[in-house]
Amino acid sequence: MGTGCRTRYPIVLVHGLLGFVRLPGHSYWNGIDTALRRQGAEVYPVRLSGVHDNEALGAQLLERIAAIRTASGARRVNLLGHSQGGLSARYAAALRPDWVASVTTVATPNQGSEVADRLRDLLPPSGRRERLLARGFEGLARLMERLECAERGLSLPLDGAASLLALTSEGMAGFNARYPQGLPERWGGEGAGEVDGVRYYSWSGILQTRIDAAPGLDPGHVLCHQLARCFAREAGQNDGLVGRFSSHLGWVIRSDYPFDHLDVVNRCWGRRVGAVRPLGVFLEHLVRLAEAGL
């Protein structure tokens, strides 16, 4: 095991919407956690509710951080959150900055997702169609929970309707007013790199216009292309679910990697994503955190 990239504090990986740690034959982080450990990092992928609002997920994350602090003896942790997981991490850092050394959001809709906005337009609040969609998401999340190989038997609360609202531009405007740490002051800019002793970083990708593999080989990539049609403000500047500039937080490492929303966590299904590899981006960030004394 390498030690040259060992961080001072443990790495906590936080999944996004409909996330998990490990299903039979498949890991959410698809080798990222293993690769970080090989470099000497202490890594904890955590499981939160599959669908819920940002505050509820953040409160669950705080409970996980408390347990990790006890188990590891570390005073603080480095949070890396994919998609909605980045919002859970932001909440945790805002409430307990003394527990968090850094927050890194990866393809996170820090200003809301135009896909969620489109769904909200099509599904009026408390309407029948919204209830059906919410129940469908909750059912899928509960099924995945039963298949979960990590922490078997752990049942967490679900709220599909709250999850949808939390990811809209409107929902994120309220969230950002309460927890503004690291947000840019202008659209497309960078935010403060450090707030209350917590370092803030972000990165994301842009969906490539060419599907360079047969659709059946990477259904997630095809889905991202379909969802990209929901974008107007960031048309052509999104990963299929999150806009490039909406993802900006703190020090923006890069927001135009050639990754779709699933590529960014190494789920490329064997498809080429360019010279830059998602796993390499995580390993570079591990060095960055270590060099910063985090």
Looking at the annotation, which residues are catalytic? 83, 239, 261
* Cβ atoms within 10 Å of 193's Cβ, excluding its own: 13
* DSSP H helical ranges for 191-266: 219-227
Distance CA 4, CA 284 (A): 12
The answer to whether 173 and 187 have CB atoms below 8 angstroms apart is: no
8-state DSSP, 222 = H
Token pair 């809209």 in the structure block, residue: 168
Q: Tell me the DSSP string of 75-115.
A: S-EEEEEETHHHHHHHHHHHH-TTTEEEEEEES--TT--HH
Q: Tell me the DSSP string of 18-75.
A: T--SEETTEETTTTHHHHHHHTT--EEEE---SS--HHHHHHHHHHHHHHHHHHH--S
